[in-house]
Amino acid sequence: MSAVPLPPLPPAPAPEEGYRPGGRSVAEIVDREHRQLLTLVDQLTGPDATPTEALAVLTAALSRHISAEEQYLLPAVRAALPAEAGRVDAEIEGDAALLSALKGLNDETVTEVAERVRRHVDGVGALVTELRAVATSEELIRLGNRLEIAEEAAPTRPHPGTPATPPWNRIVEPAVGVVDKVMDAVTRRPTYLKDLPEPPRD
């Protein structure tokens, strides 16, 4: 299995037999987040009224998730699987449409957003499966570490007009994220699944 040309990562120790970096695989992280997002949109498109805080949390969770994927996961797929560059471009276009739909998220538009989330999960999930086939477990863990760091610094509101590819998204997104987090603090807006009365299970 050849090494995958991942985006810039922190230096790794000299490999030793049995060495495994700390952290979770990017595939494990993305799969878990996708399951949580699907559970949440299923809840929001059910027969009961949609709580306002749940719409806010869905918006924040998706904004962070998409930002981190576009900063690290999708560039890694493009580098490791150059023949799939067109699919990566299609996912980025789909993400932009999803972020635009999120800007006007309400009870009437949640069904459209839910369908776009399902398409995102299917498309990105398939790319992750193919990445796992060509990357080592160490590479996937190190990429997962970068993804989690990027998510914590990512915006909590949709900004479809910001750059969607490196290097600019890695510069712009954290800066926009700071502004979003200040606004969240001022307005006491819920932004995490754990903020919900009944958060989706893993």
b (16+ CB within 10 A) / e for 20-56: ebebebbbebbbebbebbbebbebbeeeeebeeebbb
> Percentage of the chain with pLDDT > 70?
88
Contact 176, 164 (CB under 8 A): no
* Predicted pLDDT at 1: 46
Contact 62, 117 (CB under 8 A): yes
Query: What is the band of 201 on the pLDDT scale with cuts at 50, 70, 90?
Result: confident
* Predicted pLDDT at 200: 79
131, 128, 183, 172: which is closest to 150 by C-alpha? Answer: 172
- pTM score: 0.90
> Percentage of the chain with pLDDT > 90?
78
SS3 state at 49: coil
pLDDT digits (tens, 9 = 90+) for 29-55: 999 999 999 999 998 988 776 688 899
pLDDT at position 108 over 70: yes
Query: What is the band of 14 on the pLDDT scale with cuts at 50, 70, 90?
Result: low
pLDDT digits (tens, 9 = 90+) for 66-79: 999 999 999 999 99
| Token pair for 147 | 């993804």
What DSSP state is assigned to residue 88?
Answer: H
Contact 12, 142 (CB under 8 A): yes
* Predicted pLDDT at 3: 59
Please, what is the average pLDDT of the chain? 90
182, 195, 162, 198: which is closest to 67 by C-alpha? Answer: 162
* Helix 137-153 vs helix 168-187: crossing angle, to nearest 10: 50
